[in-house]
Amino acid sequence: DARVTQTPRHKVTEMGQEVTMRCQPILGHNTVFWYRQTMMQGLELLAYFRNRAPLDDSGMPKDRFSAEMPDATLATLKIQPSEPRDSAVYFCASGLGSAGNTIYFGEGSWLTVV
Amino acid sequence: QQQVKQSPQSLIVQKGGISIINCAYENTAFDYFPWYQQFPGKGPALLIAIRPDVSEKKEGRFTISFNKSAKQFSLHIMDSQPGDSATYFCAASGRTGYSTLTFGKGTMLLVSP
């Protein structure tokens, strides 16, 4: 049963702390996305990678967010320092690169910054 | 600027009724239009998708209607069931290999028993 795996599923942290979220894409998928979901903004694309190379991170606050793919089986999203406004659900999704192909979402990392 | 506008924000339908969710887009370069379904605590999952070369696509109780000239598309859920209660997102992406999905803001559907 191929699926996108995200950890942690839930995280409560204090403002100013570093938060790292991890994602294991579906084996064989060459495109990985990070989305943030909030009630106000819906699903926002933060960054995405094709064959591990970052293609677009324009949706990400550069001063505190960073995204990397150390290898084909791991994508990370880091927030340092975290702020209460970062509280949201962060989804990783993966797919095969061509436009119009289905992307598959993980179950999300629920982040609360207090 | 929001590129995909979705309405309504929320919808309550009686069991057995028809649920209709609408989306409008602005970018004429879009040529792939999927709908995603999200249950509480889960990630969105692809429900059904359409390309603009057809005006309608049906899969079971779910139908997408597409109006290219009006730049609108809609999801119809026939014989709505309580198990259909979820948040539905429309999305769109363009033709190039590097195009990404742009999502609407979602519609919370509640099907009452």
Residue B75 belongs to a domain with what CATH number?
Answer: 2.60.40.10
Tokens representing residue B80 in the block: 């709505």
pLDDT tens digits, B100-113: 888 999 999 999 99
Q: pLDDT class for A78, splitting at 50, 70, 90?
A: very high
B27-79 tens-digit pLDDT: 888 889 999 999 999 999 999 999 988 999 999 999 999 999 999 999 999 99
Residue-level pLDDT at B96: 61
The total domain count for chain B is 1
CA separation, residue A57 to residues A78, A114, B55, B56 (Å): 13, 26, 34, 34
* CB-CB neighbors (< 8 A) of B51 in chain A: 100
Closest A-chain CA to B48: A102
Residue with structure tokens 């690169």?
A: A97
pLDDT tens readout for residues A56-75: 888 898 899 999 999 999 99
Range of the domain at B50: 4-112
What is the distance in angstroms between the CA of the first residue and the CA of the last residue of chain B?
38
Q: Per residue, what are the HEC states of A6-68?
A: EECCEEEECCCCCEEEEEECCCCCCEEEEEEEECCCEEEEEEEEECCEEEECCCCCCCCEEEE
Domains and CATH numbers, chain A: 5-107 (2.60.40.10)
Identify the DSSP state of A86: G
CB pairs under 8 A between A and B: 55
**Token pair recorded at residue A72:** 């084909």
Cα(A98)–Cα(A106) distance, rounded to whole angstroms?
20
